[in-house]
């Protein structure tokens, strides 16, 4: 599906050419797709901040076109780029072109939330279609898929996506979509995008492979380069980085697929607002520096926990069972990690003892968060299903921010001790039930 050359659909609309939607109707003029994906001039850290001004006054920060409608030159209903902000807005177009560039895509589309992005994508499905997806998925994704299987006539197969053969076995000629997350949320399992995309396309060439890249962001992973047809992510997380907006982003290479997705966005009215487009563009510019610091802090925290005997899930650690696979695809480990304590009440006490780490859902923000996924972000997955999918109730998720690493480790260390999560001796502490006591409870630099 991927790899079609870029095409300016706006040109077709203006030339009076017919661009038809999936049901055979004329499409409204859509804002021009981005410049070609290989049109990057600089390295990613530079491209994140570099945009060519499209403003008549050469404004350094793109203006917020806070206008719902645009005056037209004539009554003929054509001949200009924008008519109504639901269909297109200059601030949103500027953002979308910037996102397409950094997501290695021909086109990017900005919508009102990550779930809004998935909703748009799943409207490609028709009753009777099948979806193959993971058994460890963000709770909201699971909820939307469950809704579609209950009310939309879609058959959803949840399989172990860490095993490409299992995915391949689940794909058949009714499979319209393969939906992947890597690392998975919250168990931090790694999924081999290239192998699965190749196997899915071989088994059914019309199947669309969609990857949720929220956990890593385009800073660390480009699923389109690995054979995915669609990449989407919650812009609420790393892309914006400050938890001050909700946004979703979809990126594609295939022109026709892009038009279908744009049609749904315009028809359903979920395009990102001008103000949030501006905020997201501002956030993206610091994605590189934020991610570098967040990853360094996450590695420090993961190493600290592991050295004190906790079972830590983080692809930056060599102990991660899919370490090599992760690094064969990605440029970094991200800043979300999870660990278990063996006791749900101990986990609860750790979370509630933390002070610097805010008890909060979400991730990708500049400040550090701590949560219990089974009770918070993934509570919409019922307990029986969580058990069937081996989601440990005691799992704690840490979403690491840009604070001073010593402060983060010290606060966590204090919370572990206060919660009674560790055995303390004169020479240090170690996770309950994990063997010898090592480390020094009073120092973040221990072991």
Dig out the tokens for 80 from the structure.
């200009």
Give me the least distance between CB of 234 and ligand PLP, in Å please: 3
> Considering the rule CB under 6 A, would residue 136 count as an interface residue with ligand PLP?
no
The conformation of residue 25, written as its DSSP 8-state character, comes to: P
User: How far is 126 from 303, CA to CA, in rounded Å?
Assistant: 46
Read off the tokens for 2.
């991927």
Helices (H) and strands (E) in the chain, counts: 15, 14
- Residue 380 binds which of ligand PLP, ligand LKTG3HHF, none (CB < 5-8 A, kind-dependent): ligand LKTG3HHF
State the catalytic residue, choosing from 237, 290, 313, 349.
237
CA angle (52 as vertex; 28, 16 as ends), nearest 5? 25
Contact 370, 335 (CB under 8 A): no
Q: Based on the shown chain and the rule CB under 6 A, indicate whether residue 138 belongs to the binding site for ligand PLP.
A: yes
Q: Answer yes or no whether residue 124 interacts with ligand LKTG3HHF by CB under 6 A.
A: no
Count Cβ atoms below 10 Å from residue 51 Cβ, excluding itself. Answer: 18
Q: Which two tokens stand for residue 334?
A: 């991200």
Interaction partner, residue 89 (ligand PLP, ligand LKTG3HHF, none; CB < 5-8 Å by kind): none
Tell me whether residue 237 is one of the annotated catalytic residues: yes
Q: Is residue 140 close enough to count as binding ligand LKTG3HHF by CB under 6 A?
A: yes
Site for ligand PLP in 245-264 (CB under 6 A): 246, 248
| Those residues with Cβ within 8 angstroms of residue 90's Cβ, 6 or more apart along the chain or in another chain | 54, 62, 63, 65, 81, 82
Catalytic residue among 212, 229, 254, 276: 212
Does the active-site annotation cover 440?
Answer: no
Question: In which residue are the tokens 């560790």 written?
Answer: 422
Residues 162 to 201 in contact with ligand LKTG3HHF, rule: CB under 6 A:
185
Q: Which of 65, 135, 136, 138 is catalytic?
A: 138
361 lines the binding site for ligand LKTG3HHF (CB under 6 A):
yes
Residues between 391 and 420 with contacts to ligand LKTG3HHF, criterion CB under 6 A = none
Q: Which stretch binds ligand LKTG3HHF (CB under 6 A): 54-62, 218-226, 359-367, 437-445?
A: 359-367
Contact 134, 161 (CB under 8 A): yes
Q: Does 115 bind ligand PLP (CB under 6 A)?
A: yes
| CA neighbours closer than 13 Å in the CB half-sphere of residue 274 | 16
Instruction: Examine residue 185 and tell whether it contacts ligand PLP (CB under 6 A).
Output: yes
Q: What is the DSSP letter of 37?
A: G
Using a 10 angstrom Cβ sphere, with 0-12 exposed, 13-18 middle and 19 or more buried, the burial of residue 114 is: buried
The reply to whether 238 sits near ligand PLP by the rule CB under 6 A is no
Binding site for ligand LKTG3HHF (CB under 6 A): 138, 140, 185, 361-363, 377, 380
Binding site for ligand PLP (CB under 6 A): 113-115, 138, 140-141, 181, 185, 212, 214-215, 234, 236, 246, 248
């Amino acid at each position: 599906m991927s790899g079609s050359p870029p095409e300016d659909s706006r040109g077709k609309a203006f030339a009076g050419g017919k661009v038809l939607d999936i049901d055979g109707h004329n499409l409204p003029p859509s804002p021009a797709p981005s410049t070609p994906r290989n049109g990057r001039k600089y390295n990613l850290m530079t491209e994140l901040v570099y945009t060519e001004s499209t403003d008549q006054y050469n404004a350094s920060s793109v203006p917020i076109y806070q206008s719902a409608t645009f005056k037209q030159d004539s009554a003929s209903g054509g001949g200009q780029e924008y008519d109504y902000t639901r269909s297109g807005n200059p601030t949103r177009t500027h953002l979308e072109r910037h996102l397409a560039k950094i997501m290695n895509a021909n086109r990017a589309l900005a919508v009102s939330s990550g779930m809004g992005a998935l909703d748009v994508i799943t409207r490609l499905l028709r009753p009777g279609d099948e979806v193959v997806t993971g058994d460890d998925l963000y709770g909201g994704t699971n909820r939307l898929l469950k809704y579609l299987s209950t009310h939309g006539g879609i058959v959803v197969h949840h399989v172990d996506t860490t095993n490409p053969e299992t995915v391949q076995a689940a794909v058949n000629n009714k499979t319209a979509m393969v939906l992947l997350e890597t690392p998975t949320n919250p168990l931090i399992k790694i999924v081999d995008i290239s192998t699965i995309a190749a196997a899915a396309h071989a088994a059914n060439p019309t199947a669309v492979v969609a990857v949720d890249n929220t956990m890593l962001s385009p800073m660390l992973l480009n699923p389109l380069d690995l054979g995915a047809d669609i990449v989407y992510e919650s812009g609420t997380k790393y892309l914006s980085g400050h938890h001050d907006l909700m946004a979703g982003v979809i990126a594609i290479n295939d022109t026709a697929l892009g038009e279908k997705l744009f049609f749904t966005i315009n028809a359903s009215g979920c395009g990102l607002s001008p103000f949030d487009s501006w905020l997201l563009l501002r956030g993206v510019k610091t994605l590189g520096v934020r991610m570098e610091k967040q990853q360094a802090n996450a590695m420090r925290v993961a190493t600290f926990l592991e050295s004190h005997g906790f079972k830590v899930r983080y692809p930056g650690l060599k102990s991660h069972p899919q370490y090599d696979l992760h690094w064969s695809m990605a440029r970094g480990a991200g800043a979300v990690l999870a660990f278990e304590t063996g006791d749900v009440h101990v986990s609860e006490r750790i979370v509630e003892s933390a002070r610097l780490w805010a008890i909060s859902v979400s991730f990708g923000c500049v400040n550090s968060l701590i949560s219990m996924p089974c009770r918070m972000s993934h509570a919409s997955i019922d307990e029986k299903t969580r058990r069937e999918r081996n989601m440990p109730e005691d799992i704690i998720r840490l979403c690491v921010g840009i604070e001073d690493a010593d402060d983060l480790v010290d606060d966590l260390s204090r919370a572990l001790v206060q919660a009674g999560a560790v055995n303390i001796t004169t020479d240090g502490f170690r996770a309950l039930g994990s063997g010898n006591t090592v480390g020094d409870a009073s120092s973040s630099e221990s072991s």
